[in-house]
Each structure stands twice: as structure tokens, then as C-alpha cells.
């Protein structure tokens, strides 16, 4: 069979970044990327190539301004799905919010709260009840520019607030200095179309499919080289080399849309029982292509699956950190595991991964050599699993992992959809 070509994977990433560029969820540019991926699937001669459309709640940013009391303007980005300020803006004292304890929340009433805490839905509601004027989301680290982000649509169905992202260092200078800001935003809510792109390589077995996926969308104003044109490129290269292979298990290739709005594409796919009933495993590729970094795997499945990844990586001489911890973020493997499908998310951490969702996220940090290890590992794993007489693990997600996923999504305001006919 063909071998994974790191140069070919880099070329896919490069074309998505250079020819399409920003692929913001629910926009025409995301649609153009989907059409290009569909064209590649058809060029590879995958079977049953199609698009899976769904609606997303998102927003368009019409105005975003932050200024100091002396009129000096600072860089900012209005947060998607947040509330617009009044036309004249909001002006107030800026204070840090480091927790959602009752004592900390008392300090933000009628003030602008700069967040150093992750807010899931329940915590977001607590913050709203405390009555701040607006929220500021600082970037992750010193020297990093403004991060583009959105609040989950579930969070703002009942309560909403103006919010902006700002560079870490700008927020720090405000806290050290005038401790006051004026914020003006205009955010327009919209319902938009998004889509997954699917293709298949047939297998002789009817009830043991394996999914390979990655999201191709970006946050706004960002080229999205390593998040996630690179993960899409790994998926595309695997589709290319497996397209004409004779397999025991069907290989399903899925380019997920609107991951950046809250895993919308993978949720749409996972919520359809026809998509999960024969699905035995999901491989998700999210954040790749960066030259300086380390390869990580998050396994939401049985211990045998974790052992398989560790063993295969060691056999191939590939350093790989394997965990079953969810971490603070999320990716498209999680909705599949939520609906009972053992799932693996492979990513490249460190280095330029720290500047995801900023305007710095372009090709300068990337190179074809970054695809060598992930290509060798993913091809080896897939070839063995797709051709195995029996899979070396059961289709199950252990109870402790299931509870952790359910807790994460419950905290995010997401409930599992009941199967048809079941209350």
C-alpha cells in the first residue's frame, strides 16, 4: 500500500491556509473549504462522498473598541455570541476574577471583570447573577496577542453580557494603572449553515466501522494553520493512502465543521444513532504541523486501547504521551465518546500551540517534518485495526471516563439526546 507522505500532508495544509485562509464557522469561507475537501475526497475516489449540513447559532462582529480614560485605544476583539454594549459604550472599574466563590463574586458588581478562571455554564450563570458590567478574556500568556473566541450559544440563551478579548499584557497594564476602561461593541446574532464532509473506504464487515476525523473551521480573523488545517491535512493524507485498499472494516473519513463554536459538527454526527451504531472507534486529529512540539494522545476508551497506542508508539520509536484526562479544552473526539464510541484525540502540544486562536497562527511555525511521526503512527494503527480479524478492545467507554465527559457537558449546558421512542 502507499505510505503516508509528510510532504503531501503539508501541501494539503498549505493549500487550505493560502488558498482559502480564514474558515470561520458558519461562513462562506468555511463552505469553500468544505467544497475543496469534498473535491479532494472525490479525487481520491472515496465512496459515498457527501455533505452533512446543520445549523449553528453564531454572530458577526460589527464594532469592537476598548479605550483608556485618556482616550488611548487598546487592541481588542469582541467575543462571539456576547451582548452588544449601548451605543455610547460601558465605562467602569476593571477588577480580576480568579474564582467563582461568593466572596470573589461580590467584588465584581457593576464592574468590568477580567477573567483568570474558566467559565462553564454553571459558573457563567453565577457570574451573571453577580452583576458585572462586562467581561474581559485575557490571552493565555504574556506577549501573546488577543485571542479570538466565542461564548457557547447554550450559555447565553437566558443571560448574556458584553465581553471582549484582550492581550494579556494590555490587561495587566490596565490593572496596574488606571484600572478603568471604556468598552464599545456591536455584536449581531445570526443563524448560519455549517457542514461536515464525509467519505468512505468500504470494508467487508458490516458492523465495525472506524472513523478518522478532524475539524477544518477556524475562529474569526485567524488563518488556522496548526488549528486545524494541519489536523485536516493528516486526515486527508490518510484518506488518500487508504482510498483503494481492501479492508475488513469500513473507514469513515469526516471533516467536521464548526468545532470552534462548541464541537457542533461532531455533535451533529454523533447524535444520529445511525452514525454510531456500527462505529467502534474514532481517531480525531486536532492541532498538528508545528515543528517544535510533542505528540500527545487523549484516549477516551478501554485500557486495552491506551495500551495499544503506547505499545505501537514504542515499537515505532515515537515519543507519545498518553492520557485519559479531558484537560481544560475539548475536541471532536468527545461527542463521539459521549455517545459511547471509544475515541482517541491525537495532537501536537507545546511551542506554537500556545498561540492558537490568534493572528500569529500561520505557517511560519510549521513544516513537513512535523507530520512524519503522526503519519507513521496513525497509518500503522489504522492498517492493523482496519485489517484485524478481531479488534483488541471492546466497544465501551469506562464508567469513570463516561462520568467525566457527562459532567463536562452538563457543566456546559449540554444534555444527551434521547434515542427516538425513548423518554
Same domain? For 44 and 76 the reply is: no
* Cis amide leading into 228 (omega within 30): yes
3-state secondary structure of 101: coil
pLDDT at 157: 87
Same domain? For 340 and 370 the reply is: yes
Same domain? For 308 and 397 the reply is: yes
Question: Cβ(270)–Cβ(220) under 8 Å?
Answer: no
Torsion of CA 323, 327, 329, 333, to 10 degrees: 30
Instruction: Identify the domain boundary among 132, 167, 189.
Output: 189
pLDDT at 419: 64
| pTM of structure | 0.96
Q: Which residues of the chain have pLDDT under 70?
A: 419-423
Same domain? For 51 and 63 the reply is: no
Same domain? For 100 and 130 the reply is: yes
- 420 falls within a domain: no
Instruction: Identify the domain boundary among 146, 170, 189.
Output: 189
Question: Cβ(144)–Cβ(354) under 8 Å?
Answer: yes
pLDDT at 329: 75
- 417 falls within a domain: no
Q: What is the DSSP string of 301-335?
A: S-HHHHHHHHHHHHHHT---EEE----SS--THHH
The domain of 168 spans 59-189
Q: What's the 3-state SS for 181-243? A: EEEEEEEEEEEEEEEEEEEEECECCCCCEEEEEEECCECCCCCCHHHHHHHHHHHHHHHHHHC
Same domain? For 153 and 197 the reply is: no
Query: Which CATH number fits the domain that encloses residue 65?
Result: 3.50.30.30
- 334 falls within a domain: yes
pLDDT at 186: 98
Query: Which CATH number fits the domain that encloses residue 198?
Result: 3.40.630.10
Same domain? For 214 and 66 the reply is: no
3-state secondary structure of 164: strand
Same domain? For 10 and 137 the reply is: no
Instruction: Identify the domain boundary among 189, 221, 245.
Output: 189
Strands 343-349 and 294-300: antiparallel
Other beta carbons within 10 angstroms of residue 106's beta carbon come to 10
- 422 falls within a domain: no
**How many domains in the chain?**
2
β-pair partners for 134: 112
pLDDT at 420: 54
Question: For residue 134, what are the contacts with CB-CB under 8 A and spacing of at least 6?
Answer: 85, 90, 92, 112, 113, 161, 162, 163, 164, 183
Amino acid at each position: 500500500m502507499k505510505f503516508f507522505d509528510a510532504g503531501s500532508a503539508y501541501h494539503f495544509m498549505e493549500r487550505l491556509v493560502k488558498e482559502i485562509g480564514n474558515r470561520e464557522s458558519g461562513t462562506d469561507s468555511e463552505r469553500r473549504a468544505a467544497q475543496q475537501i469534498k473535491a479532494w475526497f472525490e479525487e481520491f475516489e472515496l465512496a459515498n462522498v457527501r455533505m452533512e449540513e446543520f445549523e449553528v447559532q453564531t454572530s458577526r462582529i460589527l464594532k469592537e473598541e476598548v479605550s483608556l480614560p485618556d482616550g488611548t485605544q487598546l487592541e481588542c476583539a469582541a467575543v462571539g455570541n456576547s451582548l452588544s454594549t449601548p451605543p455610547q459604550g460601558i465605562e467602569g472599574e476593571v477588577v480580576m476574577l480568579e474564582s467563582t466563590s461568593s466572596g470573589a463574586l461580590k467584588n465584581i458588581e457593576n464592574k468590568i471583570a477580567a477573567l483568570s478562571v474558566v467559565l462553564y455554564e454553571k459558573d457563567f450563570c453565577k457570574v451573571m447573577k453577580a452583576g458585572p458590567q462586562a467581561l474581559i478574556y485575557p490571552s493565555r500568556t504574556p506577549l501573546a496577542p488577543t485571542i479570538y473566541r466565542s461564548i457557547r450559544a447554550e450559555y447565553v440563551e437566558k443571560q448574556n453580557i458584553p465581553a471582549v478579548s484582550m492581550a494579556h499584557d494590555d490587561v495587566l497594564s490596565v490593572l496596574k494603572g488606571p484600572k478603568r476602561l471604556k468598552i464599545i461593541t456591536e455584536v449581531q446574532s445570526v443563524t448560519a449553515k455549517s457542514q461536515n464532509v464525509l467519505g468512505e473506504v468500504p470494508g467487508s464487515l458490516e458492523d465495525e466501522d472506524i472513523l478518522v476525523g478532524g475539524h477544518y473551521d477556524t475562529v474569526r480573523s485567524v488563518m488556522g494553520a496548526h488549528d486545524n488545517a494541519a489536523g485536516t491535512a493528516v486526515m486527508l493524507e490518510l484518506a488518500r493512502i487508504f482510498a483503494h485498499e481492501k479492508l475488513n472494516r469500513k473507514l469513515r473519513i469526516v471533516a467536521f465543521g464548526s468545532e470552534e463554536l462548541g464541537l457542533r459538527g461532531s455533535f451533529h454526527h454523533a447524535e444520529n444513532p445511525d452514525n454510531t451504531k456500527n462505529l467502534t472507534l474514532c481517531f480525531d486529529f486536532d492541532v498538528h504541523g508545528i515543528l517544535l512540539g510533542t505528540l500527545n494522545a487523549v484516549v477516551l476508551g478501554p485500557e486495552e486501547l491506551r495500551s495499544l497506542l503506547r505499545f505501537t508508539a514504542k515499537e515505532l520509536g515515537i515519543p507519545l504521551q498518553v492520557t485519559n484526562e479531558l484537560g481544560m479544552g475539548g475536541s471532536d473526539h468527545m461527542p463521539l465518546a459521549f455517545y459511547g464510541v471509544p475515541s482517541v484525540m491525537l495532537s501536537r502540544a507545546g511551542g506554537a500551540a500556545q498561540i492558537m486562536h490568534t493572528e500569529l497562527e500561520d505557517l511560519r511555525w510549521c513544516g513537513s517534518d512535523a507530520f512524519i511521526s503522526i503519519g507513521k503512527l496513525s497509518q500503522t494503527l489504522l492498517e492493523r485495526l482496519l485489517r484485524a480479524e478481531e479488534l483488541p478492545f471492546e466497544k465501551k467507554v469506562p464508567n469513570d471516563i463516561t462520568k467525566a465527559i457527562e459532567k463536562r457537558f452538563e457543566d456546559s449546558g449540554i444534555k444527551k439526546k434521547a434515542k427516538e421512542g425513548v423518554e
